[in-house]
Amino acid sequence: MTLSPSSIEQVIPGQGAMAQPSAKARRRRFRFVANAKAATGLVVLGVYALLAVIGPWIAPYDPDARGADVLQAPSSRHWFGTTHLGQDIFSQILVGARSVMVVGLIAGVLATILSILIGVTAGYLGGAADESLSALSNVFLVIPALPLIIIVASLVDQAGDLLVALIIGLTSWAWGARVLRAQTLSLRRRDYVEAARATGERTWRIIGFEILPNLTAIIASGFVGTVIFAVMSEITLAFIGISSVSSWNWGTILFWAQGQQALAQGAWWWFVPAGLAIALLGTALALINFGIDEFVSPRLRTGGRTRIRTADGRTVRMRVGFTPVLAPKPAPVPMPDTREDRTS
């Protein structure tokens, strides 16, 4: 006797050939994007990435071109005003976005790859390999990235964005590797990992399909943190004049504004747009990081939305960071016994 797929679905719902994922499963896939913080951060970051690609093409002026409009406030011709040489600040902001985003992306990807390779390998293998890789992580953990970049930039004639990104990436992976090692030490003794090892699965397959999926949130959080550090380091180097001041980024704009005493001259438009661009990018990355935390933590994800009902019918809203203490009902006041008085 043969059964059609429709009859099988009637017996075992959701297990037939025509079974479709439930609405709850579809919502779970897009839970991270549905998070308001993560969605806002992704939109802002996407706008920055778009400007980094097309910024030099849509800039209304050449950022190096000098003009007669010296230190002009924002107007219809110059949206963000001009510098002491008549250079358009809006064009400098657009052109400088590419340098900042490229350095952050390269450094973040390089540091994340190194932290995964070293941290997960050390945590899973253990023994001598763990001790050697942990010692290597400890060495790189104490290497200061910013002073090293300053020294290298002073020795190299033109310290470009690629060199700065490589130095930041090569010196920023140690902390993420230590975190991944600690989590891998906890995961390698789980039942599903032991079962995969008992069935003869290869080491690379166990790491790639059993351990790494459970480390996705930590990896993503470390990547975002490294990007923030790389962006701020690039801007700091340009602001103090270590990197090349001939290539535009937001730190270069602040460098020239500080050197020409823009604040003393009342030229607020010279440094405020660059500062707002830096703050908005940092806010977007921080919102993405918060969204990742809420996505992987049920306590944070449901914080503020869980309600409990007390014995007397009151509703208490659970909040993250607060432990509700329910006041006990007041004990009934005992009534005086008047029977003795009546008998007396």
Report pLDDT digits (tens) over 252-287.
999 999 888 888 888 899 999 999 999 999 999 989
What integer pLDDT is reported at residue 10 of this predicted model?
Answer: 43
Report the CATH architecture of 31-317.
Answer: Orthogonal Bundle (1.10)
What is the reported pTM? 0.74
Question: By percentage, how much of the chain surpasses pLDDT 90?
Answer: 26
How many other C-beta atoms can be found within 10 angstroms of the C-beta atom of residue 107?
30
Q: How far apart, in whole angstroms, are the C-alpha atoms of residue 286 and residue 221?
A: 10
Q: How far apart, in whole angstroms, are the C-alpha atoms of residue 105 and residue 240?
A: 22
- The average confidence (pLDDT) of the chain is 80
Residue ranges covered by each domain of the chain:
31-317
What integer pLDDT is reported at residue 339 of this predicted model?
Answer: 57
**Mean pLDDT across the stretch 219-238?**
88
CA distances from 193 to 116, 124, 201, 219, 297 (A): 18, 11, 10, 20, 22
Name residue, tokens 């003393």: 264
Please determine, for residue 3, whether its predicted confidence score (pLDDT) is greater than 50.
no
- Residue 281 makes CB contacts below 8 A (sequence gap 6+) with 44, 45, 48, 100, 231
Please determine, for residue 330, whether its predicted confidence score (pLDDT) is greater than 70.
no
Q: How far apart, in whole angstroms, are the C-alpha atoms of residue 72 and residue 68?
A: 10
Q: Are 249 and 88 in contact (CB under 8 A)?
A: no
Q: Confidence class of residue 6 from pLDDT cuts 50, 70 and 90?
A: very low
Q: Confidence class of residue 16 from pLDDT cuts 50, 70 and 90?
A: very low
Q: Are 97 and 52 in contact (CB under 8 A)?
A: yes
What integer pLDDT is reported at residue 5 of this predicted model?
Answer: 47
CA-based max dimension of the chain? 112
Q: Confidence class of residue 194 from pLDDT cuts 50, 70 and 90?
A: confident
Q: Confidence class of residue 110 from pLDDT cuts 50, 70 and 90?
A: very high
What integer pLDDT is reported at residue 300 of this predicted model?
Answer: 57
Q: Looking at 9-18, 152-161, 232-241, which range is the least confident one?
A: 9-18
Q: Could you tell me the two tokens for 332?
A: 């009934």
Residue type, position 76, single letter? S
Question: Which residue in 72, 122, 103, 47 sits closest to 277, CA to CA?
Answer: 47
Q: Are 154 and 212 in contact (CB under 8 A)?
A: no
